[in-house]
Structure 1
Amino acid sequence: MNEHTFAVCAYKESPYLEECIESLKGQSVRSNILIATSTPNEYIKNIAEKNNIPYFINEGEGGITQDWNFAYSCAESKYITIAHQDDIYEKDYLKTALDAIHKAKHPLIFFSDYFEVRDGKRVTSNKLLQIKRIMLLPMRIKAFQSVRWVRRRILSMGSPICCPSVTFVTENLPKVVFENHYRACEDWEAWEKLSKKKGEFLYSTKLLMGHRIHEESETTAAIGDNKRSREEYEMFCKFWPKFIAKFIFKFYSKGQNSNQL
């Protein structure tokens, strides 16, 4: 139980927070659970007390990367999953993650395939999910999971890794995982940084968690104010000359429509 922590990032008064907590408590392998927030309120506090979960308040600078890094820093375990308050996890998520990590030589992160939750319903396939699965085809081969060139080529075409599906192996990673730079591509930026390190990106093709798409999500908000497009173009420029980055971005940006309701 001391090996792993689900660090739940809570923001304001999400109606989905308790459902997220229930999915973490229902894991087939027990784990530590904590709640971290930069918007403390009675709603979050009551849910933490009701479920006997440690509750941490970020009294420093707020923001999506600051909140993720704060939640990460509150966990005192070898492995950490930053759970987003709106999302849910299948009961064997943690079991699958730990099995893969324990078998690996030098794991950096574990991540899985996922489904979307729209209007309370599971969506296991759509255009965006299909594209991401195609991008991750090379990662199905275990030998490629430790090849830096392979994962950087995958990331050079976009970010197919779902952030809340990721478990971090802290002993093999830098103290600060997310840079305070982006609002919509902060996870892609982190994977790009970690992809340079020696070690394994462990991937499971099982649909082990559900990512909720709704009007108040940070992804939807970022698309609405065009920040995501600007950030995505900058990310492509990390891998390609600008003229190639512009060409790839034109096609990639069409996938944003799948995050709209």
Structure 2
Amino acid sequence: MTHSFVVPAYGHSRYLEACLQSLATQSTRSDIIIVTSTPCDEVTRLAEKYRARLHTHSPNRGIAHDWNMAVAQATTDWVTLAHQDDVYHPDFTARTMAAIASHPGAILAFTNYEEMLDEKLRPPSKLLFVKKALLELGFLGRSYIGRRFSKFNCLRFGCAIPCPTATINKACAPFQFDGSFRVNLDWAAWLYMCDISGGFVWIRGAPLMAHRIHESSETSAGIVAGHRVAEDRILLRRMWPAAIADLIVKSYKLAYASNQPQD
């Protein structure tokens, strides 16, 4: 099996180099591909420094288009969509690919993660605890689930599968991120994958990557702008009666404070 990291790079990120360095120093080497619709000298320099392939495209059509273009550049069996602000621990690739090899029917694998504010790791938040509890609704102590019912159950109350840790089987064509979403495009994608043949692998144990929380991140911006709440309601109403879906959305608003940098 072959694996690559694709990094959608947008604008100038002061964290991009830390991300690329973490990918280049994995204990198991993978291809690194940077994909951008906003090319600049800094991105070109970093691509050369970390021996990453650089692909530019235009025009800028939003985050879903950027992600789809990034995944499309990978020619490997498996691909991880690495977020430009995040950092991957040295054994991320090795442990992920070992887990996938143990489950030949897998189409998606993901790991646990931790959070950091700029450069400092923070203690596990209540939100991380809740996400693990939601995953157990489907996994029930297992590391692999293949039935639609089980896959669906771990997404029924929210997106508990962390997108930056997810490694996707490229054979899942015609897999696409939905351009009608700005924040929840990963949740919508995982729900799509519930309906196709193949299982989910949860790589339990210590976190294998660190997700950076800062005010200019897409998630933080989406929460502030109100896109997150609107998109939560759309997806939850696909799975629940409207009254129940709206009740779940109200409970989410309390949890979103944990994604704000000042916390």
TM-score of the superposed pair, with normalisation by structure 2: 0.94
**How many Å apart are 1:123 and its aligned residue?**
2.3
What letter matches 2:39 in structure 1? P
How far residue 234 of structure 1 moved from its aligned partner, in angstroms, is: 0.5
Q: Is the aligned partner of 1:74 residue 2:66?
A: no
Q: Are residues 144 and 34 of structure 1, via their aligned partners in 2, closer, same or farther at CA, if it must alter by over 3 Å?
A: closer
Do the aligned partners of 1:29 and 1:95 also contact (CA within 8 Å) in 2? yes
Does the residue aligned with 2:121 lie in a helix, a strand or coil?
Answer: strand
Contact 2:21 2:50 in 1 (8 A): no
CA distance in 2, matches of 1:46, 1:237: 45
- Listed as ranges, the matches of 1:34-183 within 5 Å are 34-137=33-136, 138-139=138-139, 141-142=141-142, 145-171=145-171, 173-183=172-182
Gaps of 5+ in 2: none
Question: Any idea what the Cα deviations from partners look like across 1:56-88, whole Å, max 9, x if unmatched?
Answer: 002244211110100101111100001011001
Q: Is residue 2:234 matched to residue 1:240?
A: no
Q: Secondary structure at the match of 2:200?
A: strand
Q: SS in structure 1 opposite 2:238?
A: coil
Residue type at the aligned position of 1:230: A
* 1:106 positional shift: 1.1
Contact 1:110 1:203 in 2 (8 A): yes
In 1, distance between residues paired with 2:219 and 2:161? Answer: 14
**Counterparts in 2 of 1:242-261, with a 5 A limit?**
242-261=242-261
* 1:197 partner letter: I
Give, in angstroms, the shift of residue 252 of structure 1.
2.1
Provide the secondary structure at the position in 2 that maps to 1:159: coil
Deviations 1:94-136 (A, max 9, x none): 1111111111131110001100111311124111111111111
Instruction: After superposition, give the CA deviation of every residue in 1:221-254 in whole Å (9 maximum; x if it has no partner).
Output: 1111101100001110110111111112111232
- The residue number in structure 2 matching 1:33 is 32
1:194-235 CA-partner distances (Å, limit 9, x unpaired):
112221110012301111000110001111110110000111
Consecutive unaligned residues of structure 1, counting only runs of 5 or more, are: none
Distance of 1:144 and 1:14 partners within structure 2 = 35
SS in 2 for 1:20: helix
CA contact (8 A) 2:7 2:70 kept: yes
Contact 2:135 2:155 in 1 (8 A): no
Normalising by structure 1, we get a TM-score of 0.95
Q: Give 1:15's aligned residue.
A: 14
2: CA distance, partners of 1:124 / 1:146: 32
Classify the secondary structure of the residue corresponding to 1:237.
helix
Structure 2: distance between partners of 1:124 and 1:133: 15
Give distance in 1, aligned partners of 2:143 and 2:186: 24
Give the corresponding residue for 1:209: 209
C-alpha displacement of 1:166 = 0.3
Distance 2:49 2:154 in 1: 43
Q: Provide the C-alpha distance between the structure 2 equivalents of 1:165 and 1:144, rounded to a whole number of angstroms.
A: 16
Question: Matched residues in 2 for 1:25 and 1:46: separation?
Answer: 15
CA contact (8 A) 1:114 1:124 kept: no
Aligned to 1:197: 196
Aligned equivalents of 1:235 and 1:121: distance in 2?
33
Change (3 A) 1:143 1:198: farther
| Greater CA drift, 215-224 or 61-70 | 61-70
Percent of matched pairs sharing the same residue: 35
Q: Which moved more, 1:78-87 or 1:176-185?
A: 176-185
1:3 aligns with 2
